[in-house]
Structure 1
Amino acid sequence: MSDQSPNAACSGRAEAVVAYRHDAHKLFGRSHANAAETFAGVRVNQRVPHSADRDAAALSRPSGEPTQTVDNHTSRYRLSLIDGDSQHHQQASQDRVKSAVHDLLTETDSKDLHQAWLTSDVAARFNEAVSYPYTSLKYHTLLVATLLDNYRNGHQFNDLHLLVDDAETIVPHRTIYADDEFALRITGADVGQPSARLGRQPQRSWASTWTQLPAHPLDTDHDNYSMVLDANLRRIQSWSTALQYIEDYTEAFQR
Structure 2
Amino acid sequence: MLEIYRHDAHKLTGQPHAHADETFAGVPVNQSVPHGADGDAARMSRPSGTPEPTVANHMSPHRLSLLTGESVVASNEVSDRDITRAVRELLTETDPKTMHTAWLASDVAALFNESMYYPYTSLKYHTLLVAALVDNYRGGHEFGELRLIVDQPDEIVPHRTIFRIEQFALRLDTDPGSQPAAHLGARPWRSWAKTWTSLPSHLFTISDDRYSMVLDANLRRIREWSTALQYLEDFTAWRRQRTKG
- After superposition, where does 1:39-78 map in structure 2 within 5 Å? 39-78=24-63
1:64 CA drift (Å): 1.5
1:168 CA drift (Å): 0.8
Q: TM-score, normalised by structure 1?
A: 0.91
Please list the CA deviations of residues 162-183 of structure 1 after superposition, one character each: whole Å capped at 9, or x if unmatched. 0111111111101111011111
Partner Cα separation in structure 1 for residue 161 and residue 203 of structure 2? 15
Q: Which residue of 2 aligns with 1:249?
A: 235
Q: Which consecutive aligned stretches of 4+ in structure 1 deviate over 3 angstroms post-superposition?
A: none
- Whether 2:13 is the aligned partner of 1:33: answer no
Aligned residues: 239
SS at structure 2 position matched to 1:118:
helix
Partner Cα separation in structure 2 for residue 66 and residue 118 of structure 1? 28
Please list the CA deviations of residues 105-160 of structure 1 after superposition, one character each: whole Å capped at 9, or x if unmatched. 11111111101110011110000000000000000000000000000001100000
For structure 2, the 5+ residue unaligned runs are none
The alignment-based identity, stated in percent, is 61
SS at structure 2 position matched to 1:184:
strand
- Whether 2:111 is the aligned partner of 1:125: answer yes
Partner Cα separation in structure 1 for residue 20 and residue 202 of structure 2? 40
For structure 1, the 5+ residue unaligned runs are 1-15
1:93 CA drift (Å): 3.6
Matched letter for residue 49 of structure 1:
P
SS at structure 2 position matched to 1:209:
helix
Partner Cα separation in structure 1 for residue 27 and residue 19 of structure 2? 17
Matched letter for residue 98 of structure 1:
T
